[in-house]
Amino acid sequence: MSSDQQIIFTKDAPAVSKPLAPMYVNLPLTDKTNTHDMPNQSQAIKTPNMIYCSGQIPLTPEGEMVQGITEQTRQACKNVQAVVEAAGSSISKVVKTTVFISDMSYFAEINTEYEKWFSHKPARSCVAVKTLPKNVDVEIEVIALP
């Protein structure tokens, strides 16, 4: 990785897999970065031109599961917002979303909440998948401009 890439983590979204040592928060990422004690993924990677956000599921920052498809969608969007803001951007600068759902019958309900967060209509894919992490019903990943 080049020195113009930055690992993004925020306490305002759920941890990706294990607690992150404070020394790694928003760390410039280079070939010399010691990633041994880091989780196996970051919440996002920021480059000079884009922010690539890992999929966000409906867990609160404290790790509590949210119930109900509308509420799950809202929490996933809150987590997306927290991560892109930690990267110095905003949800209005999201240019592409990928929405993974456990059942296509949830599409209309998810879409109603989704439109409240992404009224600027970024490009989007929506895919029904067999299983999502922690058996949630929705996961949202995004690409945003810095």
Distance CA 144, CA 23 (A): 25
Asked if 15 and 39 count as a contact pair (C-beta separation under 8 A), the reply is yes
Distance CA 10, CA 91 (A): 15
| DSSP label at residue 98 | E
77 is catalytic: no
Catalytic residue among 16, 50, 65, 126: 126
Angle value at C-alpha 88, between 119 and 52, nearest 5 degrees: 70
- SS3 assignment, position 125: strand
Report the half-sphere exposure of 78 (CA within 13 A, side-chain side). 15
Asked if 37 and 109 count as a contact pair (C-beta separation under 8 A), the reply is no
Distance CA 32, CA 6 (A): 13
Q: Annotated catalytic sites, by residue?
A: 126
